[in-house]
Structure 1
Amino acid sequence: MHKFSHILRLGLKELTSLRHDSVLLLFLLYAFTVAIYMPAAGSIIGVHNASVAIIDEDHSTLSRKLSESLLPPEFKTPHALPYDQLDQAMDKGLYTFVINLPANFQADLLAGRQPGVQLNVDATAMSQAFMGAGYIGQIFQRELLEYAGQTSLGAKAPALINSRPLFNPNLEGGWFLAVIQIVNNITILAIVLTGTALLREREHGTLDHLLVLPLTALEIMLAKIWSNMLVVVVCTWLSLEIIVKWALGVPLAGSLALFLIVTALYLFASTALGIFLATLARSTPQFGLLAIPVIIPMLLLSGGSTPLDSMPEWLQWVMQCSPSTHFVSLSAAILFRDAGIGVVWPDLLALTAIGLVFFAVALARFRKSLAS
């Protein structure tokens, strides 16, 4: 009970210290308002190494020809997918595009009918979905015209392509970008707030005062984690409600409560990382230099800016050790696809395991720094 009281009081001290730090408060305000709203208005879109699955119910020469027409570097080699796994694959975000070629597709085409090709697009993969759907449509139309023996681009198309973007029907670029900006800002603030809080106490000598009290390194560390976690979670909730949902008009379909719980779990891992970096640095400028090569890869390679499918396979495996990778996946699944625990539990479990490892390593390093 005494340990809990120590952790609570130390955390309140952290919140009081933050309340008097006008620079950090302004940075918090900027990070969860302007830094989210402005980038959401202009996203850069491109297609590279996009993941594709094909449900081939026709098994004809033409269906194989269409499958083989999707080539690198724009698309990966299409993966054969059974029809009954379509919804599950899209819900889990396994593929950016899932193409359904219906039964009797070639026969209907030869008979003069216009069979439909269904293109399912996971539009949360923002940088791929916008142009990728157009690319696939153009490629298929070209192949179908060639197969029908037509050479004029103005000729009547031998088949109709029915495109159905999921989770973002109007292909609004700012929707997903706004959420990713929140994810990125959470990563930055979690590391910066805890790291600077620890270094500020070291530089002001208050950390030495704490050491003469009946406090343990675990209590000091937990106090810093929960206080900064509380601040970021509250700012995240307000930003989602005011900036994302109200100002930008993004319809978040999933459970906001579940997302905030996942955010708190992610903060447990990332704040521990911030404390670890602070124990390596001797000053705030040095901490900034250490944080840059850690934060930037977490932002750029986590799957938010560019889907993991577009990265080399070895890099995809490496980034599975980063908590930001799983947090990006969880954010898209929960907020846009309305995924529940039954769908997101693998990423949730991985995030928990990474958080515990980061916390254990940071605690060991923190104890060592206090003893030196």
Structure 2
Amino acid sequence: MQTGALVAIYRLGIKELWSLWRDPMMLLLIVYVFSVGVYTAATAMPETLHKTPIAIVDEDDSALSQRLVAAFYPPDFTAPELITMAQMDQGMDAGRFTFALYIPQGFQRDVLAGRSPALQLNVDATRMSQAFSGSGAVQQIVLAEVDEFVQRERRSAAAPVELALRARFNPAQDNTWFGGLMETINYITMLSIVLTGAALIREREHGTIEHLLVMPVTPAQIMLSKIWSMGLVVLLASALSLNLVVRGLLQVPVEGSLPLFFSGALLCLFATTSMGIFLATVARNMPQFGMLMMLTIVPLQLLSGGATPRESMPALVQNLMLAAPTTHFVELGQAILYRGAGIEVVWKPFLYLALIGSVLFALALARFRNTISRMG
């Protein structure tokens, strides 16, 4: 590429940055999603138990029942509220607690006698996220405490098989670690598409695209200027978010190399900004672009492996999503940020991102040229 073309791309990119600077709503959106958006999404993951209210009816008042009461503690649960049987239904109806555990009289005696007594767990299912994940957690806690108590009381020999559980990469199994990093990756994708597409539509609505057509610049130079300028903005904003919000405010450790991660982000930005320009050439105005964004962003975020493991999806969906840049970006992001992987592990996602980005750029350029020719 000649020096004159590089200068033209640079100056057109500076023009895009000045246009963005004069758009307060876009600036507010960037600041919001990479600060408040990342923080709220990380601390309010659907499966997270945090200060879940629980009440316990302890009619046994034994060593085992007191052990069960002491097993529920912050931050997953609030300190258990000891209530009577008469207060249980009233408290559930009033929404004072999500779980109410009933321990019947003679519970410890029946457990030690091997009679398998039943406990009653009442769940407020209107609190869907806490109810679904919390009921399983309550059952695990109760079974673990009862099993340990019985073995200690009977002084039985150790079980022939003992499971030693070691959770790697997230020992505390804190959902904040997952949510903060994944939301940063999601917002990199979303903002890159929004900014480039909005920049092109804004020029078309303001009539400045006609001014560009009479200048000695090519459609490829116009596209590249929007790609590098908007990509730079998203890259800087995500770097600040990752260091100030995720690592600083949320205290999420990052195991791998940040330069390697942002190198992958550059390739993803090349693909997603090209996608944004393509969508902007399809849409006639900003409302249509917003509707296309919804149809594009939701599948990219939900089916790329950031919300649900790809292995849990149907084989057809897994194969189709291999053509999406976000699938490979999530893969390399999780490998680098969580597991500290190097380039020898993530070179395939890097290669796929480069190929997908080249294809999307070619498609967007062809569509952009066609749009310009119709305008001319």
Match of 1:92 in 2: none
Letter in 2 for 1:360: A
Q: Work out the percentage of aligned pairs sharing the same amino acid.
A: 50
Q: TM-score normalised to the size of structure 1?
A: 0.71
User: How many Å separate the matches in 1 of 2:353 and 2:165?
Assistant: 34
- Within the candidate set 313, 332, 335, 1:333 is matched to 335
1:265-315 per-position Cα deviation (integer Å, ceiling 9, x unaligned): 100000000000000111111111112111110011010100001100111
Question: d(CA) in 1 for partners of 2:41 and 2:218?
Answer: 43
> CA offsets per residue over residues 51-91 of structure 1, 9 Å max, x none?
xxxxxxxxxxxxxxxxxxxxxxxxxxxxxxxxxxxxxxxxx
Pairing of 1:207-356 with structure 2 (within 5 A): 207-356=209-358
Instruction: Report the alpha carbon displacement of residue 157 of structure 1 after superposing the two structures with TM.
Output: 3.8
1:48-63 counterparts in 2 under 5 A?
none
TM-aligned CA deviation for residue 159 of structure 1: 2.2
Q: For residues 135-181 of structure 1, what are the alpha-carbon distances to aligned partners after superposition, in whole Å with 9 as ceiling and x for unaligned? A: 9xx8xx99xx9xxxx9xxx9764421101111111111100110110
Displacement after TM superposition at 1:45 (Å)? 3.3
**Structure 2 matches for 1:19-34, cutoff 5 A?**
19-34=21-36
Query: Residue 44 of structure 1: CA displacement?
Result: 2.6
Structure 2 distance, partners of 1:16, 1:36, is 26
- Structure of higher CA gyration radius: 2
Q: Can you list the C-alpha shifts for 1:15-58, whole angstroms capped at 9, x where unaligned?
A: 00001100000000001000011121132339xxxxxxxxxxxx
One-letter code aligned to 1:204 = H
Can you give the 5+ residue segments of structure 1 that lack an aligned partner in the other structure?
Answer: 47-126
| Aligned-partner Cα distance in 2 for 1:258–1:346 | 14
Which residue of structure 2 aligns with residue 42 of structure 1? 44
AA matched with 1:313: A
Cα-to-partner distance string for 1:94-134 (whole Å, 9 max, x where unaligned): xxxxxxxxxxxxxxxxxxxxxxxxxxxxxxxxx9xxx8xx9
Q: Name 1:7's counterpart in structure 2.
A: 9
Q: 1:170 is paired with a residue of what secondary structure?
A: coil
Write the distance in 2 (CA, Å) between the matches of 1:285 and 1:33. Answer: 26
Cα distance in 2, alignment partners of residues 211 and 312 from structure 1: 47
Q: Deviations over 1:330-361 (max 9, x none)?
A: 11101111111100011111111100000000
Name the TM-score, length of structure 2 as normaliser: 0.70
Gaps of 5+ in 2: 49-128
Which residue does the alignment assign to 2:102?
A: none
Superposed CA RMSD in Å reads: 2.4
CA distance in 1, matches of 2:6, 2:220: 11
> Which of 179, 192, 197 is 1:177 aligned to?
179
2:211 and 2:200 mapped to 1: Cα distance? 13
